[in-house]
Amino acid sequence: MRKLAGLFVLSIVFVAPVFAQETPPSTGQETPPAAQTPAPAPEEKPKPAVRYTPKYEISAGFSRRSYYSSGVPTIWMNGWDGSIDYNWKNWIGGEAEGLGVYKRLDPNQTLAIYTAMVGPRIYPFGHRKFTVYGHFLYGEGYYRLSTAPIGGFGGSNTTDTHRAWAGGGGFALEKWNHWGIRLFQLDYASTHFLGGKNGQGSIRVSFGVTFRFGQKR
């Protein structure tokens, strides 16, 4: 009996250190969970341009105009044009336009034609990415033929002012909120300078840029 008790005590003495090595010591602190990677934020899509009816539109650009008078070959003249529009509704507005074109006829003579006109502007489909418009304008035209001094003779200016009108239309790219491009505009214009009974017919082609501001509600 004493031998069995001694063997039991010895086994405890030798086995206890083995269990002590296999069991990790407790530090009293829990292992923190692994950090989670936050989900990536969704990409923001670019906001499309706002479609609205502007109160005002200012336009400026290049204009090419023919000038025809009875007994005189057709003259093509280059210059500028500019306009300002106020929109009463989505489909109609009022326009004021100014234009100036020039042509050197020979080394000593230069022809210039100016017009200032007003009238309605119509948007049959409203304001869109591609905006179609038409207009009819009426006002005054100014004619000036300048002759430089030559051969001891002084220079001279022949001028005249008379009624003028124009009608036509075009289309513009209004992709951006405030800026647009007047891609193409075609008009037929008429003047009555120098007492011409039949007047002078003209074809006008123009393009340019537009700036829109204000919002018509």
The mean pLDDT value for 136-154 works out to: 89
Listed range (40-54, 66-80, 185-199) with the worst mean pLDDT: 40-54
> Could you tell me if residue 51 is inside a domain?
no
Residue 171 resides in a domain: yes
Question: What CATH number does the domain containing 196 carry?
Answer: 2.40.160.20
Best CA proximity match to 165, nearest among 123, 122, 116: 116
How far apart are the C-alpha atoms of 24 and 19, rounded to whole Å?
Answer: 10
Residue 185 placed within a domain: yes
Q: How far is CA 51 from CA 28, 89, 130, 192, in A?
A: 66, 14, 11, 41
The total number of structural domains that make up the chain: 1
Task: Label residue 157 left, alpha or beta by phi (over 0 means left) and psi (-120 to 50 means alpha).
Answer: beta
| Structural domain boundaries, residue 196 | 56-213
User: Is residue 29 one of the residues assigned to a domain?
Assistant: no
Tell the residue number behind the tokens 């020039």, with chain if given.
Answer: 102
Task: Please give the pLDDT value at position 125.
Answer: 93
- The segment with the largest mean pLDDT, out of 28-32, 104-108, 202-206, is 202-206
| 78 lies in some domain | yes
User: Residue 79 domain-assigned?
Assistant: yes
Is 33 inside a domain boundary? no
Q: What's the pTM?
A: 0.73
pLDDT in tens, 84-133: 999 999 999 999 999 999 999 988 899 999 999 999 999 999 988 999 99
